[in-house]
Amino acid sequence: MKKPLTVRLLVFWLSLAVLLTGLYPGCARNPVTGKRQVALISEQQEIAMGRESHPQILQQYGRLENAQIQTYVEGIGQRLAGVSHRPELEWHFTVVDVPVVNAFAVPGGYIYITREIMAYMNNEAELAGVLGHEIGHVTARHSVEQISKAQLFSLGLGVGSIISPTFQQLGGLAESGLGLLFLKYGRDDERQSDQLGVNYMLQAGYDPRRMVEFFEVFERLQEESGEVLPNWLSTHPAPPDRIKRTSEEASQLLANRPSTDLKVAREPYLRQIAGIVYGENPREGFTQDGWFLHPDLRFRIRFPNGWRVQNTRSAVVAVEPNGAAAIQLTLATERRSPEEYAALLANQPGVRLVSGNRTSINGNPSFLGIYEVVNQNTQQAIGALAAFISYGNNLYQVVGITSPNQFRSASNIFESSLTTFGALTDNRALGVQPDRIRIVEAREGQTLRDLAGRFSNSRIKLEDLALLNRLEPNEPLRAGVEVKLIEPGRRLAE
């Protein structure tokens, strides 16, 4: 269950930035260039942003539940941060549980990489390269510049809306375009981060040429795009000749020093990622025959036909094809009865309960109500039909929203969807399992094609395995070479 980072986080940053700073731009020295630059955000404010954003990011994407990998990534990250231009910052490195290839940095020293990008890496040097690149965005204060620009924009146009906590996410949907626009780095920033990344790699003892190889993966993954989180290329646009430039940069760095002692560390890396989930994890929800099924939370719901469903850690959102209406399912954080919760919500500023009553939805105690919500900043109103459903140990809030003039026609569609919420009892659906990475050793002369035969997995093509391993399918391997295979998990229908 969730919504793109860019939306809620940007709204949050904007509001925080406006709160924290006056209208007067300040000046600060850039830690990398040493030059003075206009910055609306001081270092203290930058750190505060990271600290405040961190729990939201974890709530949104979820930390990968694997203490061993977290410690491993943290260790390598700290080594790189220690040789960076801002060793004094308090750095944090987290693997998030997202099936999209990306890595991102939040101001103040918070770096995130996805479990999916880890699946595509083949050694520790590549991991160091990606972490080094993200560290570069922080040391050169790229995000801070981005936010300063966004802040200027927001001061001019009055965006940065905050409604009630419950409806805040939904209100933010409309602002996703703005979020994406500003959180994308510029190509000059990318070039600088590439340079900083290979420098930090080398200083931490890794072979910088490995980063060049990994850039090729991003190029080949260009078509893949994330629903939940944008992929690497959409947030880190490739500067022209990225591979050539970085390769030259790496050779220059190595020109005057022996490169024999540099670390690549393939085996230790592969050992770390053995067993991690690859791709979507169906235990966290999937769509089947028009139903959204959630095995871990044991519920199901039917969204209107043809609506696009986005499933994130904190929310499931179904959006009408033209984007004119949406239904969002989330867990209420307060442990209350449906009626208490409905009353609590009606007391939020800008929220009015138009009508509503206690009911039962498929045997579960519920409250179904019509609300009108007014954004306190923009004065824009939305109409909402909300169901609060007590099921298992949780209180679910399922809310359909649209503009007030479309509410009358949409409310029937909302109601027929909301009232399908109920228990998931199908044992086959409850028993689904994700695909996982397995590491196997080749015997002399075996090829990736031979090894792939060990698992029959209709979701993974041989070309996918070739990219994951950066091997040609028919290339004979030496004895003992370890390769990644994807063991299929159990699914409802193959």
Residues at the interface with Zn ion (CB under 5 A): 190, 193, 236
Residue number, 242 or 302, with CB nearest to Zn ion: 242
| CB closest to Zn ion, residue no | 236
Least Å from the CB of residue 235 to Zn ion: 7
Longest dimension (CA), the chain: 76
Structure tokens, 273: 């990622």
Which is nearer to Zn ion, 10 or 460 (by Cβ)? 10
Which residue, among 385, 383, 373, has the nearest Cα to 419 in the 3D structure? 385
Smallest CA-to-CA distance from 421 within 474, 359, 469 is with 359
Residue 52 carries which DSSP code?
H
- Give the nearest distance from C-beta 119 to Zn ion in angstroms: 20
- β-partners of residue 327 are 318, 400
Find the shortest distance in angstroms from Cβ 353 to Zn ion.
46
User: 209-220 and 187-203 are packed helices; what angle lies between their axes, rounded to 10 degrees?
Assistant: 140
Q: Least distance in Å: CB of 168 to Zn ion?
A: 28
Answer for the pair 77, 139: CB distance below 8 angstroms, yes or no: no
- When the beta carbons of 3 and 236 are compared against Zn ion, the nearer one is 236
- Which helix (H) or strand (E) element contains residue 124? helix 124-139
Is the distance from CB of 135 to CB of 162 less than 8 angstroms?
no
Minimum distance from residue 474 beta carbon to Zn ion (Å): 35
CB of 186 to Zn ion, least distance (A): 10
* Least distance from Zn ion to the Cβ atom of residue 3, Å: 23
Q: Are 104 and 134 in contact (CB under 8 A)?
A: yes
Q: Which is nearer to Zn ion, 102 or 375 (CB)?
A: 102
What 3-state class would DSSP assign to 318?
Answer: strand
The helix (H) or strand (E) run that includes residue 269 is: helix 266-273
Residue closer to Zn ion by CB (options 132, 369) is: 132
What is the closest distance, in whole angstroms, from the C-beta atom of residue 215 to Zn ion in the complex? 11
Report angle CA 102, 106, 108 to the nearest 5 degrees. 145
Two tokens, residue 448: 């990736």
DSSP string, 214-248: HHHHHHHTTT---SSS--HHHHSPPPTTHHHHHHH
C-alpha distances (whole Å) from 64 to each of 2, 73, 98, 113, 130 are: 16, 12, 8, 10, 18
